[in-house]
Amino acid sequence: MAGIRFQSIRKVFGKTVAADSVSLEIRDGEFMVLLGPSGCGKTTLLRCLAGLEHVDGGRVFIGDRDVTDRAPRDRRIAMVFQSYAVFPHLTVFDNIAFGLKMQGRPRDEIKRRVEESARLLELTDFLKRYPAQLSGGQRQRVAVARAIVMQAAVLLMDEPLSNLDALLRLQMRAELKRLHQEIKATTIYVTHDQVEALSLGDRIAVMQSGRIVQCDVPMNIYDYPANKFVGGFIGTPPMNFLPGVVHANGDGPTVVVGESHLAPAPAFAHALSAKNGEPILLGIRPENLTLAPNQQANTIRARVRVVEPLGSHKLLTMQVGTEISKVSVAPDQRVAPNEDVWLHFDPEKIRWMDAATGEAISATVE
Amino acid sequence: MPSTLSRRYILGRVSLYGGAILLALWTLAPLYLIALAAFSTRQATFQWPKPFLPTDFSIDTMQFFVNSRGVLDSVRNSIIVALLTIAGSLVLGAPGGYALARFRFRGKEGISLGLLISKMFPTAILSIPLAVTFLQLDLYDSLWGVALVHIAMALPFVIIVTAGIFVGVPRDLEEVAQTLGCNRLQAFLRVVLPLALPGLAAAAIFTFVISWNEVFAATILTLRNRTLPAQVLSGLNDSPLYYRYAGGFFMIVPALIFIFLIRRYLLNLWGNIVR
Amino acid sequence: MRVKSETILPYSLLVPTLIFVILLIVVPIGQAFLLAFQAPDSSFTFAHFQKMANDTSFGDALRFTFLLLIFIVPMQVVLAIIMALLIHTRFKGHTLFLYIYAIPLAISDLAAGIAWLSIFTERGYLNSILNQLGIFDKPFLFLSYQNLPAMFGTIVVAESWRATAIVMTILLAGLQVIPRDYFEAADVFGATTLKRTLFVVLPLLRPSLQNALIIRTIFAFQTFAVVFALAGRVIPVLAGESYNWYVANRNPNIAAAYAVLVLIFTVAATWFYLHFFQTSAAEAGYD
């Protein structure tokens, strides 16, 4: 078992900077998710850790060993590829046994360990089959079994679920979580699927254009996105953003959005006062907006455009001034398209952001 | 309306199969006839008009050909040269094909272009100066000399064909093998090679065909150690017709077998060759 | 250390090949030019070319080589297009027909020449069938210097028969790259088979056609064994003259001069096709 440390990793492909001085520490036994849109550098970072790419700068540590210049086989890692990369010319047994055979383990140990991990992934009945005789989901299990049988210090997974259909993906997601609870290997999991990231990660590192923009536990990532990008990337539907202008007077600051004045939570009073007269961005999640029967404090006039009943809730598309916001309400909420309503903003749930940079404004703790 | 449609459909099918069969006959007829000629008696060569059915089947002509002076030796020589060509061009070319398939490196486009150009060179421009050089190097009239020229002719094809084969083996498989304890060479031997083997075998057969059929260089570079085509060609004008028929048929037989063996790879081998 | 070995690896894999290519392709070509342009005292000379051009067979060889090219290449292309389109319809049993059509791929021009010799020779199969059909009562001499056009025709037939297969496989490989949508789109717009072939398939096949033409033209300049088998030296061709000057006359200089001439034609023809067709990457968008 070992922790992992990326130290100012830099990787360039031609003119594209895939990793721009990335530093990240992963604790022993932690499940770390690297999350970001395609091309953000998350897979590159994983491949640098696996030794499949050579870093152009920085160091990689596994445990306290500097593995930067080591070959993949000397890093005590195991990896699951997006394509599964199951060897088509070997049976399931030989696929899982491949790494152990390379280590020259005794035959009975190989047999025992292969059967054990096959049991863990419910592959016992398929050990004699060839990959061509398996379904996509089964092949995916073979890839996972082949990695965990190595009992490596570090388990790397590169979008392992993205080639499965939706139902199977849901099932395997829970399987992987259970597996991690059982084997407790330090795991790095790359995905572009924010739901996967939230459900699996002990922590999530959100990446954008070769940098880590936020690294935190899932609920903090969700509730307190570090910037507009994170808020907009995570959540279905993502966070709503509305532009406003700060007005500071003797009673503390208010933010003018459209024709309404919103009072920020006290923790932000100080930070926002300093921005008197400046534009600002208000971020709020759809479930933190409610419909109010009449004008109250912290309400804004809005018009319902679309109503989508989704079973567990209703999703409303609202026009707020010239902006569009998504609002999630209880399924029994009575609301009709083109109705004018009052939207209530919970001040505690608003994320204020710099209008120019999109960076979140931090609360001041007094 | 449905009846006219189906009539049109039937008409289409008939002309499709009719055309296909006609073209097949055009391809097969000479093969059948040369076989017929090769398996008749020697006297039958001068018979006229000739029968179109194997009414006087005989191995007399073939026997005569095989027992003619130099023929068996030339067959043996042809096989040796072809095997040397396979070995040489695969040992030299397959690593190059692998490099082109797997790596991005400076000068790659230049090398690809060079390969493309080197396929263009006429055999004559290679064989004539090499014949002169081989005379000086004591490689003249040696099977090694012929094999060297055949390797030079086959090499660009082999590199391009093997590159195509290696591209077909996903890189992920090699990488996962590396994470499972292989070094590069082991990953190649244990994963890439077994998967590439059918394609490489097809490439080997393709190379065999190139060498087995090559006549210009083989004739120019040898005097006594003829390959089969060189043997047949050098005696072409003063050998009897039945000898030529038997020789022609003899040269065609491996072609039939090899094309059958690599039928799945036909398009990959010959079809994409110019790219 | 590792970084370095990774950058070097592709080059070290290619080095043996490059050395071999230099020794057995680049150097010989240089030598061929030396042989063709060097006088015994190592000075530059056109003497070998002059001697070549003054040889009685030279004009004929030049003429016949180009005549063969003009007759053989179009015939092959038309036949090959028909074969490739037939196979591409994937009718039941098309794999068998593909195998049959492809057989000549592996047959040498010498063997092909001999196979057709058994047909065209005086007492051969063609005369036999013509006799049985009552067209001639005496054999027609296809392969006689008295019937030069007929003799030339037999070479065209034999060489077309052999090399059509190569053109077909190149075209078929090209056809398979064309997405089926193109064909279906044409169907939706109500194109007939003929229109579809002319206006949809052939333009899309242009890159493959170009490739096929280049490779066939290159080989047509090298035609020689098939000519020897059917016509002996009655019909001289460039490659055959090169062979004769070396083997019969023991004159490597003039043999090399012919070889250089063939190379020049080859390069010129390739350039011509590349220039003439000018398939842009955008046009071959599916490629």
pLDDT over 90 at A321, yes or no: no
Pairing mode, if any, of strands A154-158 and A77-80?
Answer: parallel
Which residue from B177, B179, B191 is facing A77, i.e. has the nearest CB? B179
In this predicted structure, what is the pLDDT of residue B10?
A: 82
Q: Which residue of B has its CA nearest to C233?
A: B237
Residue-wise pLDDT tens digits, B100-112: 998 888 888 888 8
Any idea what DSSP says for residue C23? I
Strands A16-26 and A299-309: unpaired
C-alpha to C-alpha distance for C92 and B266, rounded to whole angstroms? 19
Residue C91's pLDDT is 84
| Facing residue for B272 by CB, picked from C18, C173, C270 | C173
Does residue A166 sit at the C interface (CB-CB below 8 Å)?
no
Q: What is the pLDDT of residue B22?
A: 94
What is the ipTM, given to two decimal places? 0.88
**Nearest CB partner across the interface for B181, out of A50, A89, A103:** A103
Cβ-based neighbour number of residue A21 at 10 Å: 15
Q: Do B183 and A79 touch (CB under 8 A)?
A: no
CB contact at 8 A, C147 and C262: no
CATH number of C64-277: 1.10.3720.10
Q: By the CB < 8 Å criterion, does C192 face chain B?
A: no
Return the residue of B nearest to C84 by Cα: B20
Pairing of strands A279-284, A351-354: antiparallel
Q: Residue C118's closest CA among B47, B244, B53? A: B244
Superfamily of chain region A240-354: Nucleic acid-binding proteins (2.40.50.140)
For residue A269, give how far its alpha carbon lies from the nearest alpha carbon of chain B (Å). Answer: 53
Q: Do A54 and C1 touch (CB under 8 A)?
A: no
pLDDT exceeds 60 at position C116:
yes
Q: Where are the domains of chain C?
A: 1-49, 64-277
The CATH class for the domain spanning A4-232 reads alpha beta
**What pLDDT, on a 0 to 100 scale, did the predictor assign at position A236?**
87
pLDDT digits (tens, 9 = 90+) for A55-97: 999 999 999 899 999 999 999 999 999 999 999 999 999 999 9
pLDDT band at residue A281 under the 50/70/90 scheme? very high
Q: Residue B275: its chain C contacts at CB < 8 A?
A: 211
Residue C207 one-letter amino acid: P
Chain B residues close to A98, C-beta within 8 Å? 177, 180
Q: At a CB cut-off of 8 Å and minimum separation 6, what does B49 contact? A: C127, C128, C129, C131, C132
| Residue type present at position B10 | I
The model's pLDDT over A293-318, given as tens digits with 9 standing for 90+, comes to: 888 888 999 999 999 999 999 999 99
The helix/strand/coil state of A52 is coil
Output C190 or C208, whichever has higher pLDDT.
Answer: C208
Using DSSP bridges, classify how beta strands A289-292 and A340-345 pair: parallel, antiparallel or unpaired: antiparallel
* DSSP string computed for C217-285: HHHHHH--HHHHHHHTTSS--HHHHHHHHHHTT--HHHHHHHHHHHHHHHHHHHHHHHHHH---TTTTT
Q: Do C161 and B273 touch (CB under 8 A)?
A: no
pLDDT above 50 for C1: no
Would the CB atoms of A73 and B181 count as touching at under 8 Å?
yes
CB-CB contact of C79 with C160 (8 Å): yes
Query: Does B175 contact A72 at a Cβ distance shorter than 8 Å?
Result: yes
Lowest mean pLDDT among A204-208, B68-72, B208-212, C181-185: C181-185
Chain C interface disruption, residue of B98, B184, B266, B273, most C CBs within 10 A: B266
Nearest residue of B to residue C269, measured between CA atoms: B120
Which sequence spans correspond to the domains of chain A?
4-232, 240-354
Residues of chain A with pLDDT > 70, as a percent, come to 99
Mean pLDDT value across residues C2-22: 81
Give me the residue from B49, B124, B254 closest to C259, CB to CB.
Answer: B124
Chain A neighbors of B182, CB-CB under 8 A? 73, 102
- pLDDT above 90 covers what percent of chain C? 40
Q: Per the CB < 8 Å rule, is C3 touching A71?
A: no
Domain boundaries, chain B: 2-60, 70-271
Q: Is residue C129 scored above 70 in pLDDT? A: yes
Distance CA A160, CA C211 (A): 42
Q: Which residue among C21, C97, C131 sits closest to B155, beta carbon to beta carbon? A: C21
String of DSSP letters for B148-168: HHHHHHHHHHHHHHHHHHHHT
Q: How far is C175 from B127, CA to CA, in rounded Å?
A: 36
More confident residue, B7 or C45: C45
Q: B132 vs C173: CB contact, 8 Å cut-off?
A: no
Tell whether A73 is within 8 A of chain C (Cβ): no
A-chain residues near C1 (CB < 8 A): 69
* Residues in Cβ contact with A311 at an 8 Å cutoff, skipping those fewer than 6 apart: A331
- The CATH number that domain B70-271 falls under is 1.10.3720.10
Instruction: Encode pLDDT of A16-49 as tens digits.
Output: 899 999 999 999 999 999 999 998 999 999 999 9
Mean pLDDT along residues A204-219 = 95
Average pLDDT on B119-127 reads 84
